[in-house]
């Protein structure tokens, strides 16, 4: 008992050919690689091996793995830290393993056709298992604490090729790889894809793509286990044909992980208690125009304010009874104006609001102490961070906080994580505390109660949950221990502080909330992409706020790879931007259109958040949804209902009905489409000519 399994899979992928890089870029890459030293990649000595087709995996007696497929060869080495005055490393490495005096790798081939590598340090035992099946090599690294106290370690793996990589794409390097824990590398005659498959590994992931030019690194930081307990990491290496693209690799994963579910959209927020939007509810004609301008006839509208939560920039209803009355009126108005629209209520995933008047000392005490940083948001002032020592004690001992003591987030110094807001319009004082849902705790129960109220009492079509994954802004609580994570000193390797990884412990609670919504036949919209294998296939439209991630590029040029946008490729694809907030400016459509194109280049789709961009939303965004993705490509997405593209090419439309092709320029205007149609035995072939990266076509 007490053991969890983590594993690694190595798949051999035969994907479609990818377009090669621009000649100038390829030449630059060759020049750069010529100046970067290569890591040694000697053949390993003969040892136990397993075979399948052209693939041979050999385990050297030092624990180093060699993977060869007849075209290319890779070495997989591992390092496992141990504490001391200076951090030390036990290794599976060529030409010789090194480490503590007890570290002596044992390698054997089992009767079941697997390779097993095991070794033991002073605090832990490592058992690496490699299995080859259906062109997949599954590797599981089981770590067991054999000491009498908590044991912490870093894990580092390197994958070294015989030749340099010309391209390295590491979405997993962004935000620690939570949502897309992969990397893809390609050389002249070989390509490689790697994915981490276990939940904890995704949250502790560290990837490295720097020098040497023929090597990439993958590791896990700050693992800590109780005495006698185990955890197993899983990660997968895909050996790819030389011309298989990053998206060939991703599409294989999306099919295996069942990520191709329907995405509803577009989506917009609507304030029920803030003019001028609230005034539209009294004027059906104006409300219909508002919906039509934003292309929401069959989209999703999120009604704010938040239920039971006040972030400071929306007026609050106060009681649930007032919320129920006002929201029912709004739901009725929207359904009358657009019968196909979905109306959802908003809840906060990781903050709860307290009334400062119920705290000892009231607002003066609250105003005395929150530090770290402040930020201005329009009409209100918000200060986030760890509370002062005095205020932290006030919050912890306040009767109103008693139900939440099992889920409050704490800073490293032991102070409560909080946020306070001061609305300038009416000096309304608001105070919030960071919390996290986990099985059986107060926040899980509270969120489930909110779901029940919104769906059963208010009559919403669904629920929106903010900051749902709990893996970004404040992912760690320094109070308690999840029995898996800690803060380790990177110089000594010693445990400094046991921690709770809120995203990791919250996975079962999030699944319970997801099923509570989807099980009622309702829709769930969530801010932040999925970070666990169990959530990945759930039909939840999840998005990430990505406005700060876009990279400037010349109009009509090929947009860059953006690791942060690539994070959505194993999710529901949606990135959420805030371009064009000024609305009526003549140039407002261009940044939105470029954001749509940059998203397509990185395999994602765009939602407009705030503001109004004339023409773009009513013309193009509403025609992008709903979509059930079938395959992602560089610059276009194939869906069951439609194809969205910003590059010329041949497209296959698998439907008996004649496809409709619409093309939009960078101003969001419909322009004449240049294409030919040919009837095929199963559907149609479309030869489409576009101004690449400067026009967007929608085929449906």
Number of H helices, E strands in the chain: 14, 44
Looking at residue 410, the DSSP 8-state letter turns out to be: B
* 574: confidence class by pLDDT, cuts 50, 70, 90: very high
pLDDT at 144: 98
Kindly report the length of the chain: 700
Q: How far is CA 16 from CA 182, 273, 408, 560, 639, in A?
A: 19, 52, 49, 22, 18
Instruction: Mean pLDDT check: name the lowest of 33-42, 274-283, 419-428.
Output: 419-428
d(CA 679, CA 685): 6
Mean pLDDT of 138-165: 95
> In terms of pLDDT, which residue wins out, 291 or 368?
291
Whether 549 contacts 476, CB under 8 Å: no
Q: How far is CA 392 from CA 370, 398, 409, 413, in A?
A: 9, 10, 11, 11
- In this predicted model, what pLDDT tens digit does every residue of 157-193 receive, in sequence order? 999 999 999 999 999 887 767 899 999 999 888 899 9
State yes or no: pLDDT of 589 exceeds 60: yes
Q: Alpha-carbon torsion 140, 146, 150, 156, what sign?
A: negative
d(CA 700, CA 597): 18
E runs forming strands in 13-72: 49-52, 55-59, 65-68
Mean pLDDT of 67-90: 94
pLDDT at 386: 66
Mean pLDDT of 62-67: 94
Mean pLDDT of 381-410: 78
pLDDT at 97: 80
Bridge partners (DSSP) of residue 129 are: 116, 140
Q: Alpha-carbon torsion 64, 65, 70, 73, what sign?
A: negative
Q: How far is CA 114 from CA 3, 10, 48, 103, 141, in A?
A: 21, 13, 10, 22, 13
pLDDT at 275: 81
Mean pLDDT of 470-478: 86
> In terms of pLDDT, which residue wins out, 626 or 681?
626
Q: What is the pTM of this model?
A: 0.90
Instruction: Mean pLDDT check: name the lowest of 264-278, 385-399, 446-460, 577-591.
Output: 577-591
* 371: confidence class by pLDDT, cuts 50, 70, 90: very low
pLDDT at 587: 47
Q: How far is CA 15 from CA 191, 244, 323, 327, in A?
A: 11, 5, 52, 50
Query: With pLDDT > 70 as the criterion, what percentage of the chain qualifies?
Result: 86
CA 290 to chain CA mean position, Å = 31
258-350+436-470+506-545 matches 3-257 in CATH topology: no
Mean of per-residue pLDDT scores for the chain: 86
d(CA 215, CA 208): 9
pLDDT at 446: 97
* 426: confidence class by pLDDT, cuts 50, 70, 90: very low
Query: Is the peptide bond prior to 305 cis by the omega test (within 30 degrees of 0)?
Result: yes
Q: Cβ neighbours of residue 612 under 8 Å, at least 6 residues apart?
A: 293, 294, 580, 583
List the one residue out of 131, 134, 135 whose CA is nearest residue 241. Answer: 135
Q: How many CA atoms does the CB half-sphere of 486 hold within 13 Å? A: 19
* 19: confidence class by pLDDT, cuts 50, 70, 90: very low
pLDDT at 190: 86
Mean pLDDT of 426-432: 61
Whether 15 contacts 141, CB under 8 Å: no
CB atoms within 10 A of CB 361: 13
Instruction: Mean pLDDT check: name the lowest of 75-84, 182-191, 370-379, 689-698.
Output: 370-379
State yes or no: pLDDT of 243 exceeds 60: yes
Mean pLDDT of 372-394: 53
> In terms of pLDDT, which residue wins out, 607 or 312?
607
Whether 261 contacts 174, CB under 8 Å: no
Query: Domain limits of the chain?
Result: 3-257, 258-350+436-470+506-545, 354-434, 619-699
Query: With pLDDT > 90 as the criterion, what percentage of the chain qualifies?
Result: 63
Mean pLDDT of 644-666: 93
- In this predicted model, what pLDDT tens digit does every residue of 547-570 receive, in sequence order? 888 888 899 999 999 988 999 999
List the one residue out of 100, 72, 103 whose CA is nearest residue 88. Answer: 100
Q: What is the residue whose two structure tokens read 């706020």? A: 545
pLDDT at 366: 56
CATH number of 258-350+436-470+506-545: 3.20.20.60
CATH number of 3-257: 2.70.98
- In this predicted model, what pLDDT tens digit does every residue of 36-49 receive, in sequence order? 689 999 998 888 99
Mean pLDDT of 208-228: 93
pLDDT at 672: 93
CB atoms within 10 A of CB 335: 15
Whether 598 contacts 563, CB under 8 Å: no
User: Exposed (0-12), middle (13-18) or buried (19+): which is 496, by Cβ within 10 Å?
Assistant: middle
State yes or no: pLDDT of 461 exceeds 90: yes
């Amino acid at each position: 008992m007490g053991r969890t399994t983590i594993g690694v899979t190595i798949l051999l992928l035969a994907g479609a050919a990818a377009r090669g890089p621009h000649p100038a870029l390829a030449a630059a890459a060759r020049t750069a690689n010529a100046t970067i030293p290569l890591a040694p990649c000697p053949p390993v000595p003969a040892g136990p091996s397993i075979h399948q087709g052209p693939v041979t995996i050999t385990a050297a007696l030092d624990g180093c793995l060699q993977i060869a497929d007849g075209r290319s060869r890779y070495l997989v080495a591992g390092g496992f830290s141990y504490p001391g005055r200076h951090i030390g490393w036990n290794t599976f490495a060529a030409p010789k393993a090194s480490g503590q005096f007890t570290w002596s790798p044992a390698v054997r081939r089992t009767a079941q056709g697997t390779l097993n590598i095991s070794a033991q340090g002073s605090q832990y035992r490592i058992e690496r298992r490699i299995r080859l099946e259906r062109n997949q090599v599954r590797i599981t690294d089981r770590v067991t604490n054999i000491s009498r106290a908590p044991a912490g370690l870093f894990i580092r793996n390197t994958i070294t090729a015989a030749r340099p990589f010309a391209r390295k794409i590491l979405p997993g390097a962004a935000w620690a790889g939570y949502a897309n824990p992969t990397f893809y590398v390609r050389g002249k005659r070989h390509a490689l894809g790697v994915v981490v498959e276990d939940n904890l590994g995704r949250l502790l992931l560290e990837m490295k793509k720097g020098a040497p030019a023929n090597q990439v690194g993958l590791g896990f930081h700050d693992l800590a286990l109780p005495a006698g307990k185990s955890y197993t990491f899983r990660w997968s290496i895909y050996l790819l044909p030389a011309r298989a693209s990053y998206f060939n690799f991703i599409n294989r994963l999306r099919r295996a992980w069942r990520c191709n579910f329907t995405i509803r959209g577009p989506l917009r927020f609507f304030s029920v208690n803030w003019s001028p939007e609230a005034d539209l509810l009294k004027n059906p004609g104006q409300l219909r125009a508002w919906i039509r301008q934003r292309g929401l006839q069959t989209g999703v509208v999120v009604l704010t304010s938040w239920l039971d939560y006040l972030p400071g920039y929306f007026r609050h209803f106060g009681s649930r009874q007032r919320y129920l009355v006002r929201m029912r009126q709004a739901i009725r108005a929207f359904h009358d104006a657009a019968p196909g629209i979905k109306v959802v209520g908003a809840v906060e995933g990781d903050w709860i609001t307290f009334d400062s008047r119920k705290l000892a000392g009231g607002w003066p005490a609250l105003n005395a102490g929150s530090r770290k940083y402040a930020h201005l948001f329009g009409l209100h002032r918000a200060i986030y961070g760890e509370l002062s020592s005095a205020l932290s004690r006030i919050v912890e001992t306040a009767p109103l906080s008693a139900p939440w003591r099992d889920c409050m987030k704490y800073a490293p110094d032991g102070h409560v994580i909080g946020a306070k807001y001061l609305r300038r319009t009416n000096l309304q004082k608001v105070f919030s505390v960071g919390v996290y849902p986990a099985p059986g705790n107060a926040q899980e129960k509270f969120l489930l109660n909110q779901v029940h109220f919104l769906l059963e009492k208010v009559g919403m079509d669904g629920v929106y949950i903010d900051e749902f994954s709990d893996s970004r802004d404040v992912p760690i609580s320094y109070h308690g221990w999840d029995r898996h994570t800690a803060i380790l000193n990177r110089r000594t390797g010693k445990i400094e502080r046991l921690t709770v990884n809120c995203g990791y412990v919250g996975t079962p609670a999030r699944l319970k909330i997801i099923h509570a919504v989807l099980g009622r036949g309702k829709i769930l919209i969530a801010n932040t992409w999925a970070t666990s294998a169990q959530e990945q296939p759930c039909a939840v439209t999840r998005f990430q706020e990505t406005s700060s991630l876009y990279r400037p590029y010349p109009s009509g040029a090929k947009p860059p790879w953006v690791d942060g946008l690539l994070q959505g490729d194993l999710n529901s694809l949606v990135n959420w931007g805030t371009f064009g907030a000024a609305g009526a400016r003549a140039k407002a459509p261009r940044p939105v259109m470029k954001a749509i194109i940059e998203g397509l280049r990185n395999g994602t789709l765009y939602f407009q958040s705030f503001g109004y961009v004339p023409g773009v939303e009513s013309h193009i965004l509403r025609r992008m949804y709903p979509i059930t993705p079938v395959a992602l490509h560089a610059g276009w997405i194939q869906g069951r209902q439609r194809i969205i593209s910003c590059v010329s090419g041949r497209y296959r439309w698998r439907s008996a009905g004649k496809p409709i092709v619409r093309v939009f320029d960078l101003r969001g205007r419909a322009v004449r489409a240049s294409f030919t149609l040919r009837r095929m035995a199963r559907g149609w072939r479309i030869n489409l000519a576009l101004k690449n990266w400067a026009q967007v076509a929608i085929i449906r």
